[in-house]
């Protein structure tokens, strides 16, 4: 599938389903983004020689060059090209992309943006085809549907975020959401417009969710509080002696 701008072919894309595995490194992704010797829907057949092993490449969302979501390097195997990548979990776009790819599972496909630099034309299975021998790789993208649909998600492990990183991401998203609410409310007040009942209800729902969450967090903090230090033995004995002395009528 080619991306065109004003009739000019800007770059071409070939899609793949993701085959990725998240392990101990948060945000890591392993994605098959091209397979070799397969006729795709654009009548292209990609050869292994099209890629440069070890090339560093950006990862963007659905070929939107304004939305980088990660980066990685190219690994060329016998029958496929693989991206060993990392989502930018410290950015909203990267974290959203990671969560979406993980939730999509087998439905997630991948694609690559490229410019053909060397190709041959021939016939395979009774069809005219283009053999892509060399290409300039611009980026790799998670996409919905693409030209080549032969791969799928192999495995995913864990939630991909450490506790501290998850907490930081939550704080960042909450602050961003609060900023959006403030800006939207200020704009409506400035224009003399009231906040719609639907939006007010949505804001009230979020507020209630935060109150419930805060109550539960406070409860967990109380339940898991470290035990108070045991009283000092010598102090207890001295207090015991004073008590006995008072009972005996002797000042201590």
pLDDT tens-digit series, residues 155-167:
444 444 556 656 7
- 83 close to 72: Cβ distance less than 8 angstroms: yes
What angle do the packed helices 163-190 and 92-104 form, to 10 degrees?
Answer: 110
> Can you tell me the distance from the alpha carbon of 46 to that of 109, in angstroms, rounded to the nearest whole number?
17
pLDDT tens-place string over residues 175-211:
888 888 888 888 888 888 888 887 888 888 889 889 9
Phi first, then psi, for residue 144 (nearest 5°) are -85, -55
* DSSP letter assigned to residue 107: G
E strand spans, 36-101: 44-46, 56-61, 64-76, 80-87
- From 175-179, 198-202, 222-226, 245-249, the region with the lowest mean pLDDT: 245-249
49-62 mean pLDDT: 96
Closest residue by Cα to residue 167 from 69, 89, 219, 51: 89
User: 113 in helix, strand or coil?
Assistant: strand
- From 31-35, 49-53, 92-96, 146-150, the region with the lowest mean pLDDT: 146-150
């Amino acid at each position: 599938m080619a991306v065109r701008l004003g009739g000019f072919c800007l770059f071409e894309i070939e899609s793949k389903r993701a085959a990725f595995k998240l392990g101990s490194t948060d945000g890591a992704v392993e994605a098959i983004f091209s397979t070799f010797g397969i006729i795709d829907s654009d009548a292209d057949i990609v050869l292994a020689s099209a890629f440069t092993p070890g090339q560093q490449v950006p990862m963007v969302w659905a070929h939107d060059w304004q939305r980088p979501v990660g980066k990685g390097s190219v690994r060329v195997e016998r029958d496929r090209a693989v991206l060993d990548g990392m989502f930018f979990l410290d950015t909203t776009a990267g974290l959203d992309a990671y969560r979406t790819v993980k939730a999509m599972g087998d439905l997630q496909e991948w694609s690559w943006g490229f410019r053909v630099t060397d190709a041959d034309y021939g016939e395979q299975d009774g069809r005219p085809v283009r053999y892509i021998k060399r290409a300039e790789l611009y980026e790799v993208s998670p996409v919905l549907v693409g030209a080549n649909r032969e791969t799928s998600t192999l495995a995913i492990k864990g939630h991909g975020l450490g506790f501290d990183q998850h907490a930081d991401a939550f704080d960042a998203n909450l602050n961003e959401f609060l900023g959006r609410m403030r800006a939207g409310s200020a704009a409506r007040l400035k224009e003399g417009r009231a906040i719609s009942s639907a939006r007010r209800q949505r804001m009230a729902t979020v507020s209630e969710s935060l109150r419930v969450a805060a109550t539960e967090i406070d409860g967990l903090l109380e339940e898991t509080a470290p035990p108070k230090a045991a009283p000092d033995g010598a102090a207890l004995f001295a207090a015991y002696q004073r008590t006995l002395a008072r009972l005996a009528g002797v000042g201590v």
